């Protein structure tokens, strides 16, 4: 039971990270298209800045849970996926530096440099997280000793790339909806139009990914074994449909929450389908890492569960306060508000 709790907590923390950091990653990707003027770009930065660092706390939490609860899986992932994980890390570092450095000079070339860093620092994590999780769902070539028998190119298979593109589209839609929520006028209309144009492409890719998951993974086995679990993918599809319906009615907050539900549902669909595996081996199922052979000791799990139940609510409280503080719409004419 304790192992199942930690596995679910692991999946929930990753889904929370993706649904929260997803909107500011999406905004970074959309910056070149939506930020036509310096005023437009400054507006997008102001919408993103109060929340991006708080959102990334959930990445630390998800990584921390992986390390504390499933150290064998953590070691295997960082040894086998070292290159893509380092690319994600450096991309996130440059993205964070952008918010501090961009306004240090009014030189247009200086600002274009950091705008480029924000774009790539948003696109690469979105794409590579999708590729990594899709390959995790598919299975990775780990041998009996837990050594990764592949290269970066091994991960760039059609299913992995489909997962990467799916995450990029999910985050771009999520970011466009957030911008529509937080702005008025021309930027609001542009963001709303972008969200509406992205949704059909997301629907097509989501259908392709679900069909491909049935063909190249074993994710559906748990759902067919326990039919009640089918409520999860059905709820995810429902959230995607509701996103479109709320956009048509111009209920942007509801559309954003429906988009958040879609992102969480896609992540949890894969996590629930994996159970009890953490890293399925594509070489031999016997080489797979599961909650049973990759977990910490029961004593460690009990101690860490207390830590998680103490600090996760504090993070939630902080982010709730931050969102309440910055609940107003953002406009170029309004004075800029700082979190600290």
* Distance between CA atoms of residues 12 and 167, nearest Å: 17
Residue 307 burial (CB count, 10 A): 11
Residue 252 burial (CB count, 10 A): 21
Residue 299 vs residues 72, 144, 295, 296, 306: alpha-carbon distances, Å: 16, 27, 11, 8, 11
pLDDT at position 323 is 76
If we measure between CA atoms, which residue out of 165, 322, 331, 329 comes closest to residue 252?
Answer: 329
Give Cβ neighbours of residue 110 (< 8 Å, ≥ 6 apart): 102, 104
Q: What is the pTM of this model?
A: 0.91
Listing DSSP states for 192-254 in one string gives: HHHHHHHHHHHHHHHHHHHHHHHHH-SHHHHHHHSGGGGHHHHHHHHHHHHHHHHHHTT-HHH
Taking only the tens of pLDDT, the chain with its 340 residues reads: 888 999 999 999 999 999 999 999 999 999 999 998 999 999 999 999 888 888 888 898 888 888 888 999 888 888 888 888 899 999 999 999 999 899 888 898 999 999 999 999 999 999 999 999 999 999 988 888 878 888 778 888 999 999 999 999 999 999 999 999 999 889 999 999 999 999 999 999 999 998 999 899 999 999 999 999 999 999 999 999 999 999 999 999 999 999 999 999 999 999 999 999 999 988 888 888 899 988 888 888 888 888 888 888 888 888 888 778 777 777 655 545 554 4
Facing residues of 148 across strands? 142
Contact status, residue 62 vs residue 14, Cβ threshold 8 Å: yes
pLDDT at position 105 is 87
If we measure between CA atoms, which residue out of 78, 92, 84, 79 comes closest to residue 153?
Answer: 84
Domains of the chain and any CATH numbers? 2-325 (1.20.1630.10)
pLDDT at position 337 is 53
Enter the DSSP assignment of 142: B
Residue 64 burial (CB count, 10 A): 16
* Distance between CA atoms of residues 328 and 334, nearest Å: 10
| Six token digits for residue 277 | 């595996």
Helical H runs in 139-184?
152-155, 158-182
pLDDT at position 88 is 93
Contact status, residue 60 vs residue 325, Cβ threshold 8 Å: no
Contact status, residue 123 vs residue 168, Cβ threshold 8 Å: yes
CA dihedral 263, 266, 271, 273 (to 10 degrees): 170
* Distance between CA atoms of residues 250 and 290, nearest Å: 44
Helical H runs in the chain?
2-34, 38-48, 52-69, 71-80, 82-101, 108-138, 152-155, 158-182, 185-216, 219-225, 231-248, 252-274, 298-325
pLDDT at position 339 is 47
* Distance between CA atoms of residues 103 and 82, nearest Å: 33
| Six token digits for residue 18 | 């993706």
Give Cβ neighbours of residue 120 (< 8 Å, ≥ 6 apart): 91, 94
If we measure between CA atoms, which residue out of 239, 250, 310, 334 comes closest to residue 19?
Answer: 239
Q: Which residue has the tokens 């996590």?
A: 271
* Distance between CA atoms of residues 325 and 338, nearest Å: 10
Residue 138 vs residues 84, 115, 181, 239: alpha-carbon distances, Å: 17, 35, 36, 24
């Amino acid at each position: 039971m304790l192992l199942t709790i930690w596995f679910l907590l692991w999946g929930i923390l990753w889904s929370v990270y993706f649904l929260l950091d997803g909107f500011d990653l999406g905004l970074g990707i959309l910056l070149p298209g939506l930020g036509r003027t310096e005023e437009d770009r400054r507006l997008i930065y102001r919408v993103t800045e109060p929340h991006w660092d708080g959102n990334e706390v959930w990445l630390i939490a998800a990584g921390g849970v992986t390390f504390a609860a499933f150290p064998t899986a953590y070691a295997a992932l960082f040894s086998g996926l070292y290159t893509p994980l380092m690319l994600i890390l450096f991309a996130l570092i440059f993205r964070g530096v952008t918010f501090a450095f961009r306004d240090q000079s009014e030189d247009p070339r200086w600002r274009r440099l950091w705008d480029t860093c924000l774009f790539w620092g948003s696109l690469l994590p979105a794409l590579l997280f999708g590729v990594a999780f899709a390959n995790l769902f598919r299975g990775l070539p780990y041998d009996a000793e837990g050594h990764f028998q592949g290269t970066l190119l091994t991960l760039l298979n059609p299913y992995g790339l489909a997962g990467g593109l799916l995450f990029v589209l999910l985050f771009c839609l999520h970011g466009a909806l957030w911008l529509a929520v937080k702005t008025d006028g021309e930027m609001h209309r542009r963001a709303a139009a972008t969200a509406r144009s992205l949704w059909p492409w997301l629907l097509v890719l989501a259908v392709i990914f679900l069909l491909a998951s049935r063909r190249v993974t074993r994710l559906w086995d748990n759902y067919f074994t326990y039919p009640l679990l089918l409520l999860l993918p059905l709820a995810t599809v429902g959230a995607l449909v509701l996103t479109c319906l709320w956009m048509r009615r111009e209920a942007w907050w509801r559309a954003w929450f429906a988009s958040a539900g879609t992102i969480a549902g896609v992540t949890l669909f894969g996590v629930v389908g994996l159970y009890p595996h953490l890293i399925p081996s594509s070489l031999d199922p016997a080489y797979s890492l599961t909650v049973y052979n990759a977990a910490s000791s029961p004593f460690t799990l009990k101690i860490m569960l207390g830590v998680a139940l103490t600090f996760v609510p504090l993070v939630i409280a902080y982010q709730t306060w931050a969102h309440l503080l910055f609940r107003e719409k953002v406009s170029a004419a309004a004075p800029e508000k700082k979190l600290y």
